[in-house]
A = this chain, B = another copy of it.
Amino acid sequence: MGKQTEIGIGKKALQLVLASSDELSELKPQMEKTSYTYCLGKTGSMDLQKVVSAIETAAKRNGIIKENLYREMHALYHAILEAVQGVTRGQVQLGDVMRTVGLRFAVVRGQPYEDREEGEWIAVALYGTIGAPIRGLEHETAGLGINHI
Contacts and interface: CB of A to CB of B under 8 A. Distances in A.
Interface of A: 1-4, 8-11, 14-15, 18, 48-49, 52-53, 56, 68-71, 73-75, 77-78, 81-82, 84-87, 89-93, 95-99, 112-113, 115, 117-119, 121, 123, 125, 127, 131-132, 135-148
Interface on chain A toward B: helix, strand, loop, or mixed SS? mixed
Copies assembled:
6
Contacts of A10: 139-142
A71 B3 CA distance: 12
Given A1-B137, A132-B77, A140-B9, A49 B89 contact: no
A71 B118 contact: yes
